[in-house]
Amino acid sequence: MSSGEELGKKWATIFQGIGAVLGVAGATAVVVRTFDQTEIKYIESKAAAEIAQAKADVVRVEDKAVAEIAQAKADVARVEDKAAAEIAQAKADVARVEDKRTMSEVFWKAEVERFKREVQLAFTQDYEPYQAALVDKRKKRGGTGGLEEKEEEN
């Protein structure tokens, strides 16, 4: 073989090697590109799943907050109703005590006036007719006149 042929074969082998390298590089580029596309799709789907989970968590937290707010409002309303009932009861108790006090004052004022009148009559000439009128009044009402009634019946 001549040196030209050998040189041609060497170049042919080199070009075949370069072609093989380029073929492997091209195939590798296709594989890498496919792998990158698959990886990108995986990352995108994973991110979409995480976003969906985060949205679901937000909805769950918001629902929980709404429920807690509703419960707090119900608790406030219950406490306000209880306080209003206690206030109404206290007002009723105060009114009842005031009525009793007023009635007691009226009763005792009347008793004082009656006692004053009896004391005044006891020291005047009108005392005996007054006592007789009281006994007569009791008899007409059918009340107890005590011994005086029995003596008059006999």
Map out the domains of the chain as residue ranges: 3-141
74 and 66 in contact (C-beta within 8 Å)? Answer: no
For the CA atoms of the chain, what is the radius of gyration? Answer: 58
pTM equals: 0.41
Per-residue pLDDT band for 115 (boundaries 50, 70, 90) equals confident
75 and 67 in contact (C-beta within 8 Å)? Answer: no
DSSP 110-122: HHHHHHHHHHHHH
Size (the chain), residues: 154
Structure tokens belonging to residue 4: 């030209």
User: Given the structure tokens 């306000």, which residue do they identify?
Assistant: 80
Per-residue pLDDT band for 30 (boundaries 50, 70, 90) equals confident
Q: What is the pLDDT of residues 119-145, one digit of tens each?
A: 777 776 666 677 777 788 888 887 655
